[in-house]
Structure 1
Amino acid sequence: MLPPELLSEYQRYKHDTNSIASWLASTARSLGFTSSALPPATVSGDKPETKGRLKGKARQLAKEKAASPPPVKDEQPVGPNYIIGIQDYITLAEYIASKSAPVPRAFTTTLNRVITARTRFYSKLEKYDKVPDEDDDAKHKYFIHEGVREILEPLMEDDKDQEAPISNPSLHNRFDKLELHEPSQAFLETPDVERPSNFEGDEATYVAEAMASILDSIVTLTIFLNNVNDIRDHLKWVWLNYKNGGFDLAAAAITTNTAIEIVRQMMEDIEPSLKLDDGVGPMIKKIYMLQCLEEGRSMKDIIDPNNNVNYDTYDTASDTFFTAYIILRDCRHILRPDNILLFQGSKFGYYDPTSGHDQKTGHQKHKDDRAVLMSFCSQAITIVREMKKWPIQDEFMRGINEIDKTKEIPFYAIFAAQVFLDITYTLGEDIEKPFHTMHEQIAAMDDDIGLHLEFHSQLTTARLPALYDQILRKFQDCVQLIYRDPVPKLQSRIDRDDGIPAPDEKNQQIFRASPVISGILLYLFRAHYRRAGIVAANAWISIQSCQHLFNALGQHLMIKCPWSDMNAAYKILGASEFYSGGVPPTSLEDMYTKFCFRAGTSATIMGSRIRNQNVSLVSRAGTRGITAASPVQCMFEARHAHCNTHVEVNPGNFHEIRKLNLSYQGAPMEDDALDTDQIEDSKKIKWKRGKRWSNKGQGRRKTTAKSENLNPSKMLEHLILALQAETPRFSFPYLKFHRRCWRVLRAVKESCDTLLRQIYTPAYINDEDELPFVVGWILRAAVGGRHGDLRPLQEAAKALETYIQSETGIPIVSNIPIQPLLGEKIKETEDESESENDC
């Protein structure tokens, strides 16, 4: 179940109908109404009667239910529950009218909204060849609500400010050229939707009888499609900004996959109210035909008997998801349990990304749709049937798997297919850009892990988990599996068995065709690589000790060369990851104290002139490592990085995004709104709460965000901005930076060793895994005595400057998507890097 702020317009329509039933029943009862119209109540919280001890499956299900945490629910009145029949509305209204009870404005407004919604759809349905029969009309037609209004109208309060009826009942509820503008102040000050409440003291819950006529199904599904099309347009905006360099690939892919999961849950919520004897597809066809009728087409012009859709109606078929449905239907028809059936281009055609899809005719666009979807289905079917250990599965592949197993076409698969097409045409000639981005970044991670294993092949520490190296090698094995791409080999084997020539396609075709799968795979490897890097950096205490040294040298003006990688790491992680209290120390005493605290060492041990070699430098409290907290990114680890395909969209996740508010509330979908800020610490997170974007050119101002106005599309907008804000921290190459910091520590130790031996004797360090504590000894020397010994600190400055000047190659931060967020240009060539480091 989705949280209240993600409810679709259908759910609000449903709440309106329940509010009408609730007010009628509660008010009538308060006036003395007693009738069988209110069936026996089911008291909330009563336990179901059971006979004897549960056994078998029933007992297991009861255990699982008891062990599972209670679902997140809205607060509801405590009391009996009643279902109010549609046929009882008139009876209740007449009784209230006989008592001359006043009707509140909230009831009038809510009733008018429901009548407006139902009236406009019935006028369309009358044009169709299958109009509901008289019995169905008598039970469910909109005039029941009109009858209620007619009866109670003399008692209604003046409602001059009520919502105006919707004048354009068209299905199209799309953004104009994908642009959103700042809402007016009048809109922001508009009160939330008000519905009538129960009579004071009535704690019962009244629910309107569920309606299941063709009319109600069309009303429900049309409202639902309007919401889904809003989500679809937001996803186009996401990928358009990815194409223009505004969004990270993994953030765009996770947002898209989450959107499909949301749509799946929305459909699960409304499905009980739909009359879907033959599935959702035939109902989509009815809505498509009704939309065509409203556009002025005749019935004979709508459906082409040979092609299922008139190509002149391509845009309407796309808006109603009818095109995606019929292609998936055709795909399902030709699938056989014993045959994967490769959809080769010779049969279904090829899509040319450079051909300009938007300028084509409806017939040409339909051919592109078939070529794109059939080709992807071929790859997906091969994977879901033949490769049980495939590392990732997005919602589209999940839908194809469900179609293959059940032969039913769920709506989320239809939506995923249409989104797949939208992304393909939005990216156009750049359709393989996500694949190349993913391939390059995964190759860099793979190479870096190999270098790390080689770097530490002769060095161990008790602070590092014993299975750490095995985990890294498993990571490399997974990368090699992707590189080998076993799909073409499987398809070639199937081809040979069937006597079909193998299709001539590029390797890793499924990643080239699907930006979402490429992005999710990139996220998967980033998550594992990030975890490996943080574990290594914390075990060796490398990054933090170098930052403490760099701060000490900078505070005393002993070094003038910029260390671009450390500056980037410090800005990405924030001061709180290095210093208690989140404030860099300025005095030598504070520098020494804060280093000891972070390194987990004892001030007593390091304060001694002669160290006992049998005593560890690390205290029982242990080190305080970096966490690189990325709460929104990490929400999706169980779903993607750990290959758990059963994780659902959790309402708590969206509540957490709202709570942290990592992005600006209500950011307009414009290019200049994409300079998302870094979240450095908890204080900055709190500072961002309630922040929103102002009108263009007026700067930023603080207002209170109205969470009640959030909907699925708006929440996805918050999600992509939050993911984008966390991308630098999540994708930073901690493993590579750890090795560079370790080289710095080696250079510092070698430079200061003679002096430190004189001050502390050779016992100050036992093994190389204690290298980070050289920083502590240097700071201790500077603090000790009446004047302190600054010579080791000065030698450390020389060593660090020499390292920075001699370090060649591209800075590590130049290969991760953080440059727009750092506020500084990262040099990308060796010559530029050397000139920047020139002291």
Structure 2
Amino acid sequence: MQPLPLASAYRQYKEDTDFVASWLASTARACCYPADLLATPSAPSARAAPSKRPKGKSKKKGTASSRAAAAAETTPAAPKYTVAIKDFITLAEHIAFREPAATVPSLFSDSINRLIKLRSFIPEGMATQDGSPDYNSPQKPYCFLGVLERVREVLMLNTPPAANPAEPAPGTDDSGSLLTTLFAALKVYAPAEIPDSAPRDSPPAQPTAADVVQFEAELQTSFNDATFAFALLCSDLGRIRNKIRWIWTGYARAFDTAAAAIATNAAIGLAVNLIEEVVPVLKHHDLGELVDFFYRALCEAKGYTATYFQPQDQEAWAKHETYDVEDDAYVITYQLLRMLAENLDSHRLPLYKDGRFGFYNPFGSQLVKDYPVRDEFVRGVGEMDRTGKVPFYAVFAPQVHLDTHYVLRAAAILPFENMMRETRTMGASIDASLGLHEDPKVDAWPAENDQVLTNIRNSILRIHNDPIYEAKAKVWVDEAGSVPPSTQPNRILKTSPLLAGLMLYHFRAQVYKMGIAVANAWGAIACTFHLYNAVWNEKLINGRWKDMHVVLGVVLGESNLFVGHPTWNVDEYFSQFCLQMGITAAAFAQNRRHGDLNAESRAFKPRGIKKRARAWRMFSDGFVDNTKKYM
């Protein structure tokens, strides 16, 4: 079961719809309904599975479990069939008129009641431009809501009492309350209403029938279905936006810059996954029409007249009176990205000056294609450049950017300042480390490692100098003779707290990795700590070295510095140090054979410090190696 904050209203709606279709089809099949009239086969997936052939050492370590897993992969998947919506009533009548009558489970009753309650809440704005609901159009001669109500009537299910629209929860902001008012029926899917002690009443993926045939409901892709799915999606995204606002509110008080950025990008990645679930329905319609339609519905629900959402010119879409509505419907960010998409050219670098948009022709090598980190906004603009279309996740990402600025206000530049301050410290630390490594040399630290540190240092300097600014400055000088004062370095990092935090994580992760390598090669931390531990416990020094206590209690932990338990007495100081340096425990056994202990023997290998902060390091693929799209 997913954690409650990750529950998706659209996914629950889709599961309910599929379960209703699955139960009707499987039960009708058990009641001798003609198989050729039951359903049509679903299209199989064309994606090929990757090769699972073991290689290298893994080839020699084949186990029974791996062979069983391989056998399971070769097992053909159960056939899946699509049940047409128009057949729901026919299947229900066939089930109801059979003797003896089939027992309708409570799970089916709950699912269909939720669907009816949700689909019956169609505001006046959620209608086609001619004023009639889309399901009454000639292209779709049946109404899904009417089908569900007829199925419930045929199967003689009890109709639940009508529920009054729920009042907004205390503390809900204007964005959440507006959507709550418009789609009050979403209350049946609100995760907060599910008790923590009870499991989520989610229908199973398939009916409890003896056979393995799977059924799913026909995918509904009409414009009305698309606007309905879009409304559910916006409800889910609204909850995510509220959490992101909470993150940056916490940053203004105590949260770490990189931690806030990583959490924000993870939340955006979750939103992207939710959007991809709804894409099969939305892709059949123009995103701009869906956004405009949803905006009109929200305006009508809010009580605005038609003049507020019928712009007379291209610049009239941004209105102060309906700004909150535009914010909920993603009107502003969509329109900005739409205009950007119309002017994008992969062979030109866009430059802004005095509010005017112009193009200049730089050479391809001047474009910054290897910028260290990218968020979903940057990726979305890249997809717009390739396809010429605006993906909805690219609309959501800049909306989060605006939300962050609404929370931080003038403090929005603080993440950038924190990133610059910490990376300067990292660079100075790397310079000092390289100076110490010049002489003497050790076998555990080859020259290639110094080159890695040098590369990290150069990367930090490159970001401080801003490669984007350098590319723009060259274009300005070539085309206009000088760089305008309004063009400043690091503008993207100054204006994006998210990118500034991701950049800080990018360098932190690399310095942490190489810092562990330096500590293991030279033994500086372990040797210093054991010496300090001995003189501190024996009260041979007066001062307290706070760094060593932080290393033991927070940074590395006891397991990285001691073999077994910590040492607090004279008899064990030296033995614990030797064990840390890799000398075998047998050397300290009471019955060992007498002889000199050769501490320089190559058979002894010092215990290396192991990396910690597992949750922190799990994002390195996305923001250091750039091998993952999202989290």
Q: Judging changes above 3 Å, is the alpha-carbon distance between structure 1 residues 384 and 575 closer, same or farther for their aligned structure 2 residues?
A: farther
Question: CA shift at 1:474, angstroms?
Answer: 1.0
Which residue is 1:397 aligned to?
378
2:110 alignment partner AA: T
User: 1:84 touches 1:209 (CA, 8 Å); kept in 2?
Assistant: yes
User: 2:415 touches 2:497 (CA, 8 Å); kept in 1?
Assistant: yes
- CA–CA separation in structure 2 for the residues paired with 1:140 and 1:122: 16
Which residue is 1:540 aligned to?
522
Question: CA shift at 1:254, angstroms?
Answer: 1.4
Q: Judging changes above 3 Å, is the alpha-carbon distance between structure 1 residues 9 and 65 closer, same or farther for their aligned structure 2 residues?
A: farther
Which residue is 2:508 aligned to?
526
Question: CA shift at 1:38, angstroms?
Answer: 2.1
Question: CA shift at 1:136, angstroms?
Answer: 3.9
Q: Secondary structure at the match of 1:342?
A: strand
- CA–CA separation in structure 2 for the residues paired with 1:384 and 1:640: 23
Which residue is 2:532 aligned to?
550
- CA–CA separation in structure 1 for the residues paired with 2:171 and 2:144: 28
- CA–CA separation in structure 2 for the residues paired with 1:191 and 1:7: 13
Question: CA shift at 1:42, angstroms?
Answer: 7.5
- CA–CA separation in structure 2 for the residues paired with 1:164 and 1:384: 64
Question: CA shift at 1:282, angstroms?
Answer: 2.1
Q: For the aligned residues, what is the CA RMSD?
A: 3.8
Q: Secondary structure at the match of 1:270?
A: helix
Which residue is 1:471 aligned to?
452
Aligned 1:697-736 pairs, distance under 5 A: none
- CA–CA separation in structure 1 for the residues paired with 2:288 and 2:131: 17
Which residue is 1:37 aligned to?
37
**1:343 aligned to which of 331, 345, 352:** 352
Question: CA shift at 1:433, angstroms?
Answer: 0.8
Which residue is 2:22 aligned to?
22
Which residue is 1:94 aligned to?
93
497-506 or 394-403, larger mean C-alpha shift: 497-506
2:491 alignment partner AA: Q
Which residue is 1:114 aligned to?
115
Aligned 1:261-660 pairs, distance under 5 A: 261-278=269-286, 280-306=287-313, 307-347=316-356, 386-499=367-480, 502-505=483-486, 506-572=488-554, 573-581=556-564, 583-602=565-584, 617=600, 619-620=602-603, 622-642=605-625, 644=626, 646-649=627-630
User: 1:446 touches 1:479 (CA, 8 Å); kept in 2?
Assistant: yes
Q: Judging changes above 3 Å, is the alpha-carbon distance between structure 1 residues 14 and 42 closer, same or farther for their aligned structure 2 residues?
A: closer
Question: CA shift at 1:453, angstroms?
Answer: 1.4
Q: In the TM superposition, what whole-angstrom CA distance separates every residue of 1:496-537 from its partner, at most 9, and x where no partner exists?
A: 454486332332211111111111111111111111211111
Matched, 1:145 2:148: yes
Q: Secondary structure at the match of 2:429?
A: helix
Question: CA shift at 1:64, angstroms?
Answer: 4.5
- CA–CA separation in structure 2 for the residues paired with 1:135 and 1:65: 49
Q: Secondary structure at the match of 2:122?
A: helix
User: 1:174 touches 1:229 (CA, 8 Å); kept in 2?
Assistant: no
User: 1:580 touches 1:594 (CA, 8 Å); kept in 2?
Assistant: yes
- CA–CA separation in structure 2 for the residues paired with 1:591 and 1:40: 76
Question: CA shift at 1:298, angstroms?
Answer: 2.7
Q: In the TM superposition, what whole-angstrom CA distance separates every residue of 1:634-667 from its partner, at most 9, and x where no partner exists?
A: 111111112x2x41446xxxxxxxxxxxxxxxxx
- CA–CA separation in structure 2 for the residues paired with 1:177 and 1:125: 21
Q: Secondary structure at the match of 1:585?
A: coil
> TM-score, normalising length from structure 2?
0.83
User: 1:79 touches 1:205 (CA, 8 Å); kept in 2?
Assistant: yes
Question: CA shift at 1:493, angstroms?
Answer: 3.0
1:547 alignment partner AA: F
Question: CA shift at 1:319, angstroms?
Answer: 0.9
1:94 alignment partner AA: E
1:468 alignment partner AA: N
1:26 alignment partner AA: S
1:265 alignment partner AA: N
Which residue is 1:243 aligned to?
252
Q: Judging changes above 3 Å, is the alpha-carbon distance between structure 1 residues 213 and 166 closer, same or farther for their aligned structure 2 residues?
A: farther
User: 2:295 touches 2:329 (CA, 8 Å); kept in 1?
Assistant: yes
Q: Secondary structure at the match of 1:341?
A: strand
Q: Secondary structure at the match of 1:435?
A: helix
- CA–CA separation in structure 2 for the residues paired with 1:102 and 1:163: 22
Question: CA shift at 1:407, angstroms?
Answer: 1.4
- CA–CA separation in structure 2 for the residues paired with 1:558 and 1:478: 44
2:379 alignment partner AA: R
Which residue is 1:175 aligned to?
172
User: 2:126 touches 2:294 (CA, 8 Å); kept in 1?
Assistant: no
- CA–CA separation in structure 1 for the residues paired with 2:365 and 2:498: 17
- CA–CA separation in structure 1 for the residues paired with 2:385 and 2:480: 23
Q: Secondary structure at the match of 1:207?
A: strand
User: 1:173 touches 1:226 (CA, 8 Å); kept in 2?
Assistant: no
- CA–CA separation in structure 2 for the residues paired with 1:396 and 1:502: 27
Q: Judging changes above 3 Å, is the alpha-carbon distance between structure 1 residues 457 and 441 closer, same or farther for their aligned structure 2 residues?
A: same
1:458 alignment partner AA: D
Matched, 1:215 2:216: no
498-507 or 219-228, larger mean C-alpha shift: 498-507
Question: CA shift at 1:218, angstroms?
Answer: 1.0
2:330 alignment partner AA: F
**1:257 aligned to which of 265, 270, 273:** 265
- CA–CA separation in structure 2 for the residues paired with 1:109 and 1:62: 38
- CA–CA separation in structure 1 for the residues paired with 2:213 and 2:171: 40
Which residue is 1:83 aligned to?
82
1:167 alignment partner AA: P
Q: Secondary structure at the match of 1:502?
A: coil
Which residue is 2:181 aligned to?
none
User: 2:12 touches 2:202 (CA, 8 Å); kept in 1?
Assistant: no
Q: Secondary structure at the match of 2:141?
A: helix
Q: How many residues in Structure 1 have an aligned counterpart in Structure 2?
A: 587
- CA–CA separation in structure 2 for the residues paired with 1:477 and 1:608: 54
User: 1:598 touches 1:624 (CA, 8 Å); kept in 2?
Assistant: yes
- CA–CA separation in structure 1 for the residues paired with 2:242 and 2:365: 29
- CA–CA separation in structure 2 for the residues paired with 1:287 and 1:238: 28
Which residue is 1:664 aligned to?
none
Q: Judging changes above 3 Å, is the alpha-carbon distance between structure 1 residues 535 and 143 closer, same or farther for their aligned structure 2 residues?
A: same
User: 2:347 touches 2:364 (CA, 8 Å); kept in 1?
Assistant: no
Question: CA shift at 1:438, angstroms?
Answer: 0.4
Q: In the TM superposition, what whole-angstrom CA distance separates every residue of 1:644-701 from its partner, at most 9, and x where no partner exists?
A: 2x41446xxxxxxxxxxxxxxxxxxxxxxxxxxxxxxxxxxxxxxxxxxxxxxxxxxx
Identical amino acids, percent of aligned pairs: 29
Q: Secondary structure at the match of 2:102?
A: coil
- CA–CA separation in structure 1 for the residues paired with 2:4 and 2:38: 28
Q: Secondary structure at the match of 2:349?
A: coil
> TM-score, normalising length from structure 1?
0.64
Q: In the TM superposition, what whole-angstrom CA distance separates every residue of 1:109-166 from its partner, at most 9, and x where no partner exists?
A: 110111122121365423743642533443453111111111112xx3x68xx79747
Q: Judging changes above 3 Å, is the alpha-carbon distance between structure 1 residues 528 and 78 closer, same or farther for their aligned structure 2 residues?
A: closer
User: 1:37 touches 1:88 (CA, 8 Å); kept in 2?
Assistant: no
User: 1:601 touches 1:622 (CA, 8 Å); kept in 2?
Assistant: yes
